[in-house]
Amino acid sequence: MSKFLHTKYDSLTPYDTSGEVESMKGYIRLNTNESPFPPSPKVMSAVLEASRGLNYYCDPECSQLAAKIAEMFSLKPSQIVFGNGSDEILNFLFMAFCEKGAAFPNITYSFYKILAKFHGVDYIPVPLKNFRVDPSYYKNVKGRTIFLANPNAPTSLAMPLSEIEEILTSNPESLVVVDEAYVDFGADSAVTLLPKYGNLVITRTFSKSRSLAGARLGWCMTSEETAADMRNIKNTLTPYNINAMTQAAGLASLDDEEYTRKNIDMIRMIRGNTKSRLQEMEFEVLDSSTNFLFAKHETISGEEIFSSLKKYRIMIRHFSNPPAISDYNRITVGTPEQMQIFLEIMRGITKNAKQ
Ligand SMILES: *Cc1c(COP(=O)(O)O)cnc(C)c1O
């Protein structure tokens, strides 16, 4: 730490990006929930085309993207705000709407806690029940903003819309944020609830189902009023937060729904197959509505599985905390070829452990 740093930043806890670095080249990376498929060829040519205009500032409103998404979900463009990844949207939400604190599951996307701490937001970690969100645990949050990833990470489980609605209804004084990063892989979107609930915010990303994690593009959908607040914050801090190439990439991706659809179908198929193979090796695998599996072996520890695979240059995600999930690992669904190698090595590891 330099002597120049503001003292309020002397104990930051940054997000763990160790699984995403250059040195992971040559590894099979099943640890960061990216798509194993490249973006659509249409995205690539749109990015090249957009690069010709890089001498100009980009559109701060992402007007074309907003119009397109508004049409897709029967909303007004003014209900949509874009972020440099949905992580930036989450940052704005913690900054703008958490004066009375926040509440989110004790096992969920780790960034919520990091942002709460950074912004000095008082938060309650709400326990899950058998790894599921129980709406009855969200009855006394006293105006705190509620953050729910649906489907949740790292558990991979989705909650039914009726339960989200229950939380919305019992907390009219709270904003309820539903993080739908993985919704395309098999959960019902809360978008249909937007006309009915003024306290709902939905966040989305191009990073997972649309193969654009490196482009950094996410958005939120909410009431016009809340969106206006978000836009104000965004335009104060980073008016040009979505660069021209990323805007073009996003648009081209939305114009090629067939490509995305095909990849999602493929991921779901590989997911089902991988799950069955793991079950044959005595893994307990949760019911995934995402592009990853959350799995625990009957006898071998989570840590041991993680480190054994690493020796073979296969990365999965292991969480040592909280202890309730330390015997599980999160395994991103890769290409059929990647999963074949993964399963073969996994078979060896489980056999060895038996001897
Ligand atoms: C990956 C992920 C995000 C962040 O996505 P970006 O748009 O890449 O910032 C948000 N929420 C959850 C639950 C995620 O898994």
The Å distance, Cα 87 to ligand 1 centre, comes to 6
The Å distance, Cα 2 to ligand 1 centre, comes to 31
Q: What's the pLDDT score for residue 17?
A: 76
Buried b (16+ CB within 10 A) or exposed e, 94-104: bebbbebbbbb
* Atom 2 of ligand 1, nearest CA residue: 181
* Atom 14 of ligand 1, nearest CA residue: 181
Q: Which of 133, 152, 208 to mutate to test the pocket of ligand 1 (most atoms within 8 A of CB)?
A: 208
Q: What is the mean pLDDT of the chain?
A: 96
The Å distance, Cα 86 to ligand 1 centre, comes to 6
Please state the rounded mean pLDDT for residues 281-285. 98
Lowest mean pLDDT among 4-13, 38-47, 80-89, 235-244: 4-13
| Number of other residues whose CB lies within 10 A of the CB of residue 224 | 13
pLDDT one-digit tens code per residue, 147-166: 999 999 999 999 999 999 99
Residue 85 CA neighbour count, 13 Å, CB half:
12
Please state the rounded mean pLDDT for residues 123-129. 97
Domains contained in the chain, CATH given: 9-37+258-354 (3.90.1150.10), 41-255 (3.40.640.10)
CA distance 302 to 322: 13
* Residues in contact with ligand 1 (CB, 6 Å cut-off): 33, 85-87, 109, 149, 153, 179, 181, 205, 207, 213, 218
Tell me if residue 18 falls in helix, strand or coil: helix
